[in-house]
Structure formats: C-alpha cells, structure tokens
Chain A
Amino acid sequence: MTATVASHETHVEHGPRRPPAGWRRLLFPGFLRTAWMVPLFFGIGCGIVVLCRWWGGWHPIWFGEIIVLVAALIAAPVGFLAGIGAFDYWARYAIGAPTVPEDHSGHGAYSWRDYFRVNTDHKVIGMQYLATTIFFFLAAGMLAMLVRAELAKPGMQFFNNQTYNGLFSVHASLMIFLFVIPAFAGLANFVVPLMLGAPDMAFPRLNALSYWLLPIAGTMMLCSFLVPGGAFAAGWTGYAPLSVHQPMGTIFFNMGVQWAGASSIMTALNFLVTIITMRAPGMTFWRMPLLVWANFTTSLLVVIATPFIAGSQFFVMFDRVMHTSFFETAGGGYPLGYQHIFWFYSHPAVYIMMLPGFGIASEVISVMSRKPIFGYRLMALSLLAILVLGFSVWAHHMFVSGMAPWLRVPMMVTTLLIAVPTGIKVFSWLATLWEGKIAFNTPMLWAVGFVSMFVIGGLSGIYLGAVPIDIHVSDTYFIVAHIHYVLFGGSLFTIFAGIYYWFPKMTGRMYNERLGKLHFWLTFIGFNATFFPMHLIGVQGMPRRVSDYDPVFANWNLFISVASFFLGASTIVFLRSRRRRRSSTSTRSRRSSAIPTSTASRGRSTRCSAAVLANRCRWTDARSRRCQRDRHRAEADRGDRAAQGRRRPAGHRYLPRQPAAARLCGVPGHASRSGGPAPGPDGFDTARGRNSRRRLRGRIGSRHRRPRRGRTAGAAGR
C-alpha cells in the first residue's frame, strides 16, 4: 500500500473529465452532444445541396438521393464524430484554445460508461472494437439465417428476389468490413502494445477516431434495409454496371465502405508506426512475437490496398449520382475496370482477414504446447512472402471475366505459389505441436480447429487456383464453401481462439471452460455440416447468389439449412460462456510467450521491457546470447528507474512518468496492490491459488476500485 501512496506523490492519476452541470452539459463531448450535433450537420448538408442545386439551376432543387448521400451519409456522421468528441483535441489545437493533454497514464476505463466515450487507451479501444464487432457479427449471422431459411426449399418462401439479394449482400459486407477485419484490429489493439512493451499505440487519438468510424459504417449498412428499394443487392462485390443501376441502398454500401475503409487505414498506420518506432529497447524485429509480425504485414496490406476499394466505390457512386461513365459502356466506360480495381483490394483483403489469425494461432499453439514456435524466422518470412505475392494474384478472381486471356496463366502461377508460404506455416504449426505438452483447452481447440479447417480451405483454394477447374466452379456454391472454410474456419476460429485466450487478460475473469469447449464442438460440427456439402452441390451445378434453384439440390439444401440453424444456435453458447464467473482456474498455467503475465492489463500499461524481453528471449531466441545480454541490460535499467523515480531513459519518446514501470514489472520493493507478483526466474507469473486470483483482479479488474478524481485534482497534480 505504501508504494501506491508513494506513487501518487510523483504522479497524479486523473479520471475522465466530469461533465459539468446545467446547460453546459450539452457542450460536453458525449451522446448528449451528438443528439443536437447530428441534426445540425444533417441540416448543413441539406443546405449545401439545396444551395448548390438552386445556384446551378438544377431541378428539382430538393432531390432525395443527393440529400441522403450528402446530408445523411457524409455530414451527419461527421456531426456524430464531432459530437462524441473525436475531434475535440484537434479542434481546440486548431483554434488555439487550451488543449486537454493526456499522458496516457490515467485514462483507462473507470466505469462502464467510459466504454461509450471517446477514450484513447488502447485496451479500452480494443474492448470497444470487440464489443462492436461481436454485435455486427450477430446481426450478420441473423441475416445468414434468413438466407438459409429462404433456401431450405426450392421456390420462393419468405422474401422477394430484391430482399433476398439484399440479405446476402449485407451479410457478407457486415461480416467482412464490420466483423473480421475490425475484430482482428481490436484484438491487436489490445495486445500489440503489450507485446512490444509500448505504453500505448503511437497515435492514441487517431486510434480512438478509427474506432468511432466503425459504428457509423455498420449502422449505415444495416440501415440500407430501411430505404425505398431495399438494401444494396449487388453482392458484397458490387460489380458494376449492375450496382450503378440498383435502388438507393447501393450508396449506403458505397459510403459504408468508405467509413470502414478509413477506419482500417488509420488503424493500420497506427500499428505500423507503433511497431516500427515503439518497440521496447532490445525488442528487435527478429524478436517480435509472430502476432506482431502478422499485424505488421497486415497493416502494410491495408495501407497499400484499401484505397483501391475506396476508389472503386467512389467511381460507382459518381456513375450513379453524377452520371460519369467509369463503368458504363454507353458512355465509353469499361466494366472490367471495376473488377480489376475491386480485386486489387479485395484479394489482399483476404490476407488482411487471414494473417492476424495466423499470428493468433502461432501464439496460442506455441503457448499451449509449451514450446517455442517452430521455424520462427521462416514463419515471419512466409508472412512477408504472402504480403508480396498477395498483390500479384488479384486477377484469379477474374479467370472467367473476359479479361485478356494471356493474364490467366501468370496469375495461376502466382496464386499457386502462395500455397508454398502457407504450407510452411501449416507444417510449422504441426511441428510446434509435436512433442509439446499440449493443453487441449478452449483456445487451443479453436487454434487446432483453425489449422485443420484452414487446410481444407487452402486445398479447395488450390482447385480454384487451377484455371480449368476454376472455369467450372467459379460463381458456384463451391466458392461459397471455399470462402467460408477460409473466413469462418480460418478467421473466425482464430478470433474465437484469441477471445478465449485473452479473455482473462482483458476482463480479469475466467470464461467457463466447459461451455467454451461445448461452444467449439457445436460450432465445429455445425460448420462442417453446413459448408462441406456446399462443395458438392457447387461442383454439381448450383450457382451462388440465387434465391431459387433446381429441385435436384433440394435435399442437400434442406440439410445445409438445418445444419446452419444448428451452427447459429451454437453462438448462444458463446454468449453464455462469456458470463461473469469468478475464475476457478487462475491464469497460472498460462505461460504467455509474449505478454508477461505481470503486466497490467487495464488502466495503465507501460514499458516493461525487461519482463517482455525475458519472455521473448525464452520463446524466440533462446540460443542467442545477445538476447540474454539485452535482457540483463533492460533489467539493470529497470532497477535504475525504480531507484530514480521519474528519470527518463535516453532515447525514449514515450515515457512512463512514474515508477509504475517498475511497479508493474514487479521490481522487488515496489510490489503493490496494483502491481503484479514478481515474475519467476523465467519471467513467468509464479504466484498461484486464491492469492494470485485476488492480485489478478486487483491488477486487471480495476473497474470501480479507483476513486474518481475531479478535474481540478488532476490539474493541480500536474
């Protein structure tokens, strides 16, 4: 306790700003301010449209589609962001008003309300990401259930064609743009800075902004069901010129992709800068955990590729609302141009949705086998190989599209070459399992399930890579089966692995192991029963994206629909297993390869280079003496800092302003209530039993524990 008090002398923790009383509350960032700012910006958008149309002499002056586009899909979201407070710091800075600085030391979540505010703590943002993406996962899953309900019997059951096309289009878009991509970003937001020993992400305010763009994009896509004409119905691929001539819902997709895309570009830039510049001293590139490598390559893919889909959707929208002719043959446009631009993003996007999962799988498999990852360097290099090759294969989605025929063979070569680095990864995971001490618990089940399902998805990918077979099966249910084996069996399984794996770290509570396992097995069985038969009916001749089909396929479709409802129901177990349950198993048996269990999980994270490195030396570089040397240096440095309090080590831009670094890394003499138990000789948390549980909770679940401090106290302290 004394140590906690002592730390308050050198560093004052400040909670979130309290909203002022009275009418000034309306000006305080939050949902109350969005309540008037959104209509205000909507009005401004309407005004701009009406003014321009009046000035240009265009009739009618009040034109519904343009109003929706400018006022509802562009201006109102900006109003939302302004209202919630995403721009406050920059706005104050720009107008010269005093800013409210943050030193990343006291801005964790103090109550559940903080998760509904703009918060710049990477852990809070990680949780916000995960909660939001799970919401959209459930929504998109519901849409899939509706699709399967319609397909249970041949003929039309519940929906008309337009609604049906909308259902699968929104399902895919939400799953891709609002679930898989941001869920990985959320997990990485939480763990990457911890793994690097960085105090936070490089640009915390940008991080917060990129989160708040997501609910906008998701709401936009879901709301497209409400507009006249129904949701966008040209598939998530939105091929032009069909998408140009669809009802108004299409612009909800065009703009939704822009918001979601902006979000992922910002996050990716943030990761890149964080990983390049904020590694703890001694944490070289070749010592980074594979998960960090995976996020590094993913971020490179995102920043290079995402602008292409943004461009393609803008072009479609321009064709639609401004009557340009990017893709309209009548005006000299080139429909295949859309597909080239679109797939130049969307093929790398497959890796954007896959590589972070590789990282999580590497982490979980290695830890749960109690072995270092096999072939660490080759694993990292194969990620880079996938990054490079990933940009040279986009036209394999277009083997039958009517593009230049000569392009097919080179694209087939590069496509099949990707099997080599992917194979390296799979075999290395298997070698990591070999002779390990395998704990077959929930995260490990998901990770091993991922490896086996991803192999099936990868092998069906080889079929699709071979041009002659692709000609037969493209745009059939074989494709549907393939993408679900890759994105469900691949990405989703690893997301679940990550959620279960870091659940104790994130919440300070343990999930229910039995329910977690049940969740896995139900999902695993339901998943295979749903998607494996799709290979068969696809090869036999059932095209994708149809609401009605040849009665020959009736039995299989009924089977698939029943299986998919079973699969959908398994998600209920997932939600149940999250339920709060005081941990019966502490994380003692968990030996993280990257995050020392002694780092704080919420609230204040900081550089624990010594502890981080102690782990990394053990897991990546055990043979290297250099790593041990760096580790000892870091330990010496830690001792110095503990002794000297606020002294800043040279060359660090992001500094712990408190001896918390020492406290959290478990320097002797600084163990406190909120500090972790000292790591054992191997850098692991050696405490166990009830005591450690309480400590864990003390460190992690600091939800309501910390007294709130007013703004003045914080200011005075500074």
Chain B
Amino acid sequence: MRRGSLVQLILVAIAAAAAGTAIALLPNWLPQPASREAGRIHFVFWFLTGICIFIFSIVASVTAYAVVKFRRKPDDDSDGPPIHGHTGLEITWTAIPAILVTAITIVSAIVLAKDDAAGANPLRVNVVAQQFAWSFYYPAYGNKRSGILRLPVHRSVLLRMTSKDVVHSFWVPEFSQKQDVVPGLHPTLHITPTRVGTYPVICTELCGLGHALMRSQTIVMTETAFDKWAHGAQTAAAVGGGGSSIFNQQGCTACHRLAAAGATGTIGPDLDKLAVEAQRAGKPLASFVRESIVAPNAYVEKGYPKGIMPQDFGTKLSKTQLDALVRFLVSSAKKGTK
C-alpha cells in the first residue's frame, strides 16, 4: 500500500470519526441525570460511545475508500488479486474486539454492582402496578399510600414492586433505572435521587389498552419537605373505607372519567354518564353498577372492547367495600344527572 493512499485513508477515517463525534455531542442524548445511578450509567454510555466511534470510523472509511478507489473500469475484464486471507490480520481483528468487549463487560459489571448496592438503611417503598395505574406505599410511615412517588433527595431508596394483573415496567428516564413489575414476583429497584424536581414515571412494558397513558410522577423533595409530607395526615380521599377512596385505590381513575373523584381517564366509559348507560343497558342503576364491577363483560358499553376491564374486582373487594363503592358511584351519577 502506497504511503499517499494510507494518508488518504486516515483522513477519511478522521472525517468519519469527526462526523460520529458531532452526532454524539450535538443533540442532547441523555436526559439530565437526577440520581447517582444515572450518573454511572451515563459514564458507561459515553465510554461505549467512544469505542463505537472508533469502530465506526474504521468501517466507514475503509468502505468509502474501497468503493471509490477500487471501482472497476468499464473495459476492465480482469480479476482482483486472488487474496484468500492473511493470518496476522485475521488474528488482529479477532483479538482487538475481544479486548474491547472484555473492557466493556468489566466496566458494566462494576457499575451494575454499585447501582444495585442499596446500603444499610434505605427508604423502602412498595410499588403496586395495575392496569393502568401506579400506587406507592410507604411501610415506614404507616403504609401511607400515594399515587405520586415522593422521594427525599440524597437518600437511598429501595422500591419493592409487584403487579396485580399483567407485566408492567417502572421507568423514570432521569433516574435511568428501570424494572419490570411482574405479577407474583417482588423484584426490587435501587435509586438514589440527587436532584430536586418532578419527573415522569412511565410504564414501558406493553400492558394493554391504556399502556400509553399509564403514567405517574415522581417528586424528589428536600429531606424536610418529605418528612413533613410523610408525617402529614392522609388526604381525605385515601383514608378510610369511603367509596371515593376505594375508587382511587383500585386504580379506577386511570381509565374512567368521574368528576366526583377528579378522574379524567378515557380508556373506559365515562362514569359521569352512568345513568344514561344504565338506561341503555335496560337495568336499574344500582344493580347495573354492581354488575359492571363484578362481571364487566356482562354488558359492555358500545364503542368499548370487551375483556379490558379487570374481571376480579368481585373477589378483590370485600362486600362492605363493594357496597360503599356502588353507593358512591350511584350517588355521584345521580348528582351528575341533576
């Protein structure tokens, strides 16, 4: 290989590397990290990006150089040189990727181990996912329930998760941590928030009709603000066995619209129009509401698919809870029609 062509090749490689670097640096790739784990994960990301730009520039430059320089002349009927291989070269390009992936593996394994170490006394939060809502319970504070994940800044948090129905996945892009929430299992996820702010909680595992809307928020607060919130009384809606609190706790708000509970879901039928729907079904309001909760497939409002509403509320709710829920819905429906 002539020296001039080697210089050309290297110039092309530098141009390709520059293009790769520009793509890596110009747009804002990763969200602003808000947890210690995210910081480490971002380190791995940039470490790998460096390696990838290196490999990409080699491949791109050789390809571009070859297809430009070694183009066949129209009248050339000869063959290329019959090169069948080169042992040294083949060993090199086996060994170098092997070394690179070993480095990546070691860095990743260390980061993974550090990210998973929750420390001696983490704040424990139980996460319960269901179609299509998140609930967060704080066992250290009398099993206080919240629909929004509130966390103190700079404290190690261990989320223990489970699902009531299908597989969901908990993700906060700013924390860079993600965990599938599987029925019957209790996987954990470790987070150490480092930045006060409000971030989205996103379900990333397809969980059915309302998957795109299965969102909540996490609010990272200062230690004192969190203590104040944690020790404060439960909001009226979350306390006691009243119909509205059951409505909230069971996740009905995720899918249904109901002004009385401040719910604005659009996946299921609008419960502010319950009276009209009962008429359409040809049943008295109270028994229609009860039937729709216990056996939702018995009558499905037109325009909504069958089999989407969970069918186990009849077994999950006690009789008194069910009565309270029906009373609440009937009364709100009557208020709505007036």
Which A positions have Cβ atoms within 8 angstroms of B? Answer: 161-162, 165, 228-230, 233-235, 239, 241-242, 245-247, 329, 333-336, 369-372, 374-378, 400-402, 405, 408-409, 412-413, 416-417, 419-420, 423-424, 426-428, 430-431, 433-440, 448, 451-452, 455-456, 459, 462-463, 465-469, 471-472, 474-476, 536, 539-541, 543-550, 591, 620, 622-623
Contact = CB atoms under 8 A, between A and B. Distances in A.
A463 B45 contact: yes
Given A242-B208, A541-B200, A468 B41 contact: yes
17 contacts: A165-B209, A230-B305, A241-B166, A247-B307, A370-B79, A371-B79, A371-B82, A374-B85, A374-B86, A375-B90, A376-B85, A377-B85, A400-B178, A402-B182, A435-B70, A435-B81, A439-B72
B139 interface: no
Contacts of B71: 438, 440
Nearest to B209: A161
B322 interface: no
Contacts of B59: 426, 430, 451-452, 455
Interface in B52-88: 52, 55-56, 59-60, 62-63, 66-67, 70-72, 76, 78-86
Given A245-B166, A467-B112, A545 B184 contact: no
Interface string B80-111: 11111110011001100110010011011101
A235 B206 contact: yes
B63 A430 contact: yes
B267 interface: yes
A241 B183 contact: yes
B216 interface: no
Contacts of A434: 62, 66, 70
State the 4 A-B residue pairs at the shortest beta-carbon distance, nearest first.
Answer: A541-B173, A329-B184, A402-B187, A546-B212
Given A242-B208, A400-B179, A452-B63, A543 B94 contact: no
A565 B84 CA distance: 43
Given A161-B210, A370-B80, A466-B44, A242 B166 contact: yes
Interface stretch (B24-32, B223-231, B243-251, B282-290): B24-32
Contacts of A336: 182, 185
A468 B79 CA distance: 48
Contacts of B94: 378, 420, 423-424
Interface in B193-210: 200, 202-210
A161 B108 contact: no
Contact of B48 (A448, A469, A541): A469
Contacts of B185: 335-336, 402
B277 interface: no
Contacts of A229: 305-307
Contacts of B182: 335-336, 401-402
Contacts of A402: 179-182, 185, 187
A143 B187 CA distance: 36
Contacts of B211: 161, 165, 545-546
Interface residues of B, number: 85
B291 interface: no
B212 to A, nearest CB: 4
B97 A420 contact: yes
Contacts of B205: 239, 475
B83 A372 contact: yes
Contacts of B109: 409, 412, 467
B206 A239 contact: yes
Interface residues of chain B: helix, strand, loop or mixed (majority): mixed
Given A375-B90, A462-B101, A539-B30, A467 B108 contact: yes
A553 to B, nearest CB: 12
B116 A405 contact: yes
Given A400-B169, A541-B31, A247 B82 contact: no
A546 B207 CA distance: 10
B67 A409 contact: no
Contacts of B85: 374-378
Interface in B226-257: none
A436 to B, nearest CB: 4
B167 A438 contact: no
A129 to B, nearest CB: 31
A472 B176 contact: yes
Contact of B165 (A241, A334, A423, A472): A241
Question: Which one of A430, A452, A549, A622 has the greatest number of beta carbons of chain B within 10 Å?
Answer: A430
Nearest to B187: A402
Contacts of B213: 548
A154 B284 CA distance: 39
A459 B55 contact: yes
Contact of B184 (A334, A375, A463): A334
Contact of A423 (B97, B184, B267, B305): B97
Given A413-B105, A436-B80, 9 more contacts: A165-B208, A165-B211, A374-B84, A374-B86, A440-B67, A451-B59, A459-B55, A462-B52, A620-B84
B31 A247 contact: no
B48 A374 contact: no
Nearest to A479: B204
Which of B51, B176, B200 has the most chain A CB atoms closer than 10 A to its own CB?
Answer: B176
Nearest to B100: A419
B84 A541 contact: no
B40 interface: yes
B270 interface: no
B309 to A, nearest CB: 11
Contact of B167 (A230, A242, A543): A242
Contacts of B40: 468
Contacts of B173: 472, 540-541
Nearest to B59: A455
A372 B56 CA distance: 25
Contacts of B307: 229, 245-247
Given A466-B108, A476-B204, A370 B72 contact: yes
A427 B90 CA distance: 9
A541 B171 CA distance: 9
A485 to B, nearest CB: 12
A334 B182 CA distance: 9
A552 to B, nearest CB: 10
Given A424-B93, A438-B71, A541 B83 contact: no
Instruction: Identify the interface centre among A372, A435, A543: most chain B CB within 10 Å of its CB.
Output: A543
Contacts of B180: 400-402
B323 interface: no
Contact of A438 (B72, B179, B200): B72
B316 to A, nearest CB: 11
A690 to B, nearest CB: 19
Given A426-B59, A536-B27, A548-B212, A433 B48 contact: no
A417 B169 contact: no
A165 B305 CA distance: 13
Contact of B82 (A416, A462, A622): A622
Contacts of A549: 212
